[in-house]
Structure 1
Amino acid sequence: MLGAGHFGIPGVSAAQSTYEAELLWGGDESRIQVLRGAGRILSSAVDAGNTPTSVLRKGLLLGKVTASGKLKQWDPDGTDGSQFIDSILPVESPTTDGYGTAVERFVPTFVAAPVKASQLLIEGSALVGSTAEFQARRALHEMGFRLDDDPQGYLAGVNPRSASKSTDYTVVHADNGTIFYADTANATFTLPALRAGLSFEFVRTSDHNLVVASAEGDNMVVGNDASADSITYSSAGNRLGARIRVRSEYFGTTLKWIPELVVVPFTTGTLMTITLAS
């Protein structure tokens, strides 16, 4: 955005802010898919990636403070209600008036729409590559937003995919929501770096070892242990059919891998043998 010259004299001043104009994707038809809302933005809201931070750029994810019902930047670590995504800001909005005084403004919002992932901001930083990216993708998809780089919701982890693996495999963030079938040989699946909003499932389709391990270690929650490193099925005759679901969740205030072990009976009175490593 460019301003007028000094003292209202015609001319071009320095850029006050820069942004990509188009937030929606899908052509003119996309506009009929937009559900619009509105709300009051707190004067204390900030866009940490902008200069000045008091100018909120379009594409900023918004949360709603429970006590006041007012909007601010979405804060994945918040405890005031802003930890839940409420909407997306579709226009630039300053939180100060022309004199630099903090003010609250009513703004339009998007509560569902086809939007460009590259234009979305989490606390002022790009959504893509953010540590909260997959948490945001899941929430946005469930709200009715369709991101242009993943309209089906695969990266959001809400539309499962499947893949077969016959050797060890290092899981990546882009595998979010995938069900892995381990066949023909012992297999160790190493989870990606821990981020909120991730989920995976692992199924053993032959009588071989199945190991699901944390990349960092000490961040898996199992029975009586909140800092386990891995889960292993290794007893011959008790491995085919083994199934482990893992998701990333906050355990108290700390992000952890939360495994769900699906115990499958093999013969009368016999269950799988599971090894938990700390």
Structure 2
Amino acid sequence: MGTPLGDFVRAKRDSTQPQSLGLPERGRRRSPGLRRVDLATRAGISVEYLTRIEQGRDRNPSVAVVNALADALVLGPPERDHLRYLAKITGGVCSAHSRAAPPRRDVRPSVRQTLRLLEPGLATVTNQLGDILAHTSGYAAVTGAAGLLDGDSPNLTRYVFTDPRARTFFADWDAVADEQAFDLWRGPSAESFAWFTAHLAPVAGPDFTRRLHGHTVPQRGVLRLDHPAGHRLNLLRETLELPADAQQVVVLLPADGLTAQAVDHLCGTARARLRAIS
């Protein structure tokens, strides 16, 4: 049985072309990417040890080995952080991690006050499941017309994978889908596992399940929205993590002048009233 760490290392090895690292092409092979011997040599470890890591038979690689693998694969900062995280949960923390407390749905008064200070800007509070727990009127003005806030318990992850309008609303739907699946995987708990197993996976289909275990570290560039009113919105995302609550405040900022004008137009008729859903 494999491990998240082994799966990620193997996936990165398979997706790395030898030429990109200055290595010679060794002819046709059954699987794409780097050979184990090439990666092991670059990382300064034995092929046997690399095989044990990839197959999940070694669950406690040292920090030096993890860093060596990151260097050998030329990982960027987000992927290096993810590799260290996978090494941590693979090395014995996994069982405790999977029993983490269910994500809280209430939003602390001070967090709600922070949102009020951001009115009429675009801001929301979410948890690790993608539940939208509170939002500004500006956020509702921009996302509500696309159906994101429909229902009593709006959820961004469910919307992305099950609502056909999401594929039109998000100009880069594939990138957003990668982000949502990655964030859900990174925040597992008994409640989140039950939720996506019972409610999301059966209706989201292979687009969701493939991404959930693919360990694709998202780039999180400019968020591009095609608003139903005809506006193309290019938005920057600033995230304030709330570790004690397992929540985050996400603020969307116009990335250019045309987007700023469109946001002003969309928010012009919105009432400056914070909505707390939880």
Q: What TM-score do you get using the length of structure 1 for normalisation?
A: 0.28
More strand by percentage: 1
The structure, 1 or 2, with the larger RCO (C-alpha pairs under 8 Å, 6+ apart) is 2
| Greater radius of gyration (CA) | 1
